[in-house]
Amino acid sequence: MPKSRFSRSIAELLTLSLLAVWTMGASPEPRTSPSSKRLDIPAGLDAYMPVPEDNPVTAEKVALGRRLFFDRRLSRDRSISCATCHDPRRAFSTTRPVAVGVFGRRGRRNAPSLINRGYGRAFFWDARMKTLEEQVLKPIQDRNEMDLSLEQATSRVGLRATEIARALANYVRSILSGNAPYDRYLSGDRNALSAEQQQGLQLFRGKANCIACHVGPNFSDEKLHNTGVAWRNGRLSDPGAGQGNFKTPTLREAARTGPYMHDGSLRRLEEVVEFYDRGGHPNPHLDPEIRPLRLSGAEKHALAAFLRALSGDLREGL
């Protein structure tokens, strides 16, 4: 083998190795929860999913959670279910900028995708809930969503509130997406990404610095950041967790989960890239990682192309 080709091959192997370490984290052998072994976790995701000891994953609870997820009795006027805003055909997200609940009531925020939420450490855009078991009951009770008291909910479906919470949380943990072209590329399939997508990956990790927040197998640091979305003309439209801070969403299945941002204000991936290329919206509390990127037109296209390579094998249930 000519020396130049040998050197290039070694460099490519080193790049793939470094990418694998970045994606999977520091531990070469991911921990596996006995409970999470029941889940059919696709390639590219951490084999360990944190599962509460008092709510192990079981086929029975996942099946019950799925039925409840599609059950319109959990809304006051029986017109909507969890699946109304978290549509499986849209990677468990919605095409609407903000959620619309019973009686046509509009919420303030976009309904985010539920994929891979079993890996989450905080829930809702403002990270106000720390467990899935807490989170899944809130939309049922929220006036602008399903507007049903827990007493009414338990009466309608014949289950205790804890049973509803545990079943729904089990089902949400089963909603997974992985084995995307990006994952296959990391595993050594050099044809899994086009040349443009490979350029986008390098931009993602380098010049565009997307990995400052969108890091790890699920492309989220699960932290709060101010990107300026909530600021318009010097005014704060939604404080989020304070001063316009919102939680980093996953980028998996991003091509299918628009519109984007906490308020659904950006409809296409190209608009998201443009937003960050401009450096977000200036405000006194802007995250220091958000700054003008000065990407060329070709670089913007490449970055959007890479984001589309994060759509993969989406599955739910056991």
The reported pLDDT for the residue numbered 235 is: 86
Asked if the structure places residue 37 within a domain, the reply is: no
Q: Cβ-count burial of 300 within 10 angstroms (0-12 exposed, 13-18 middle, 19+ buried)?
A: buried
> If pLDDT is split at 50, 70 and 90, which confidence band does 34 have?
low
Beta pairing partners, 315: 176
**Which residue, of 143, 176, 209, is where some domain finishes?**
176
Provide the pLDDT for residue 21: 43
3-state secondary structure of 157: helix
Q: Which residues pair with 177 in a beta bridge?
A: 314
**pLDDT score of 33:** 57
Whether residues 294 and 195 share a domain: the answer is: yes
* Judgement on whether residues 69 and 111 belong to the same structural domain of the protein: yes
CA-based nearest residue to 88, from 106, 113, 64: 113
- Kindly indicate the confidence band of residue 234, based on its pLDDT and cuts at 50, 70 and 90: confident
Domain count, the chain: 2
pLDDT 10s digits, 157-205: 999 999 999 999 999 999 999 999 999 999 999 999 999 999 999 999 9
* Residues 127 and 245 both lie in one domain: no
User: What pLDDT score was predicted for residue 8?
Assistant: 46
Provide the percentage of residues in the chain whose pLDDT is more than 90.
84
| Mean pLDDT value across the chain | 91
pLDDT in tens, 117-166: 999 999 999 999 999 999 999 999 999 999 999 999 999 999 999 999 99
CATH number of the domain where residue 121 is located: 1.10.760.10
Pseudo-torsion of CA 263, 269, 275, 281, nearest 10°? 10
Is 4 a domain residue?
no
Collapsing DSSP states into helix, strand and coil, what is residue 192?
coil
Res 1 pLDDT > 70: no
Distance CA 144, CA 139 (A): 8
Q: Which of 126, 144, 176 is the last residue of a domain?
A: 176
Q: Return the pLDDT at 4.
A: 47
pTM: 0.88
293-299 average pLDDT score: 98
The pLDDT tens digits of the residues spanning 239-254 come to: 999 999 999 999 999 9
pLDDT tens readout for residues 39-91: 889 999 999 999 999 999 999 999 999 999 999 999 999 999 999 999 999 99
Domain extent at residue 170:
59-176
Q: Check whether 31 has a pLDDT greater than 90.
A: no
The Cα 314–Cα 115 span in angstroms is 8
Asked if residues 157 and 68 have their Cβ atoms less than 8 Å apart, the reply is yes
Contact 173, 316 (CB under 8 A): no
pLDDT of residue 222: 96
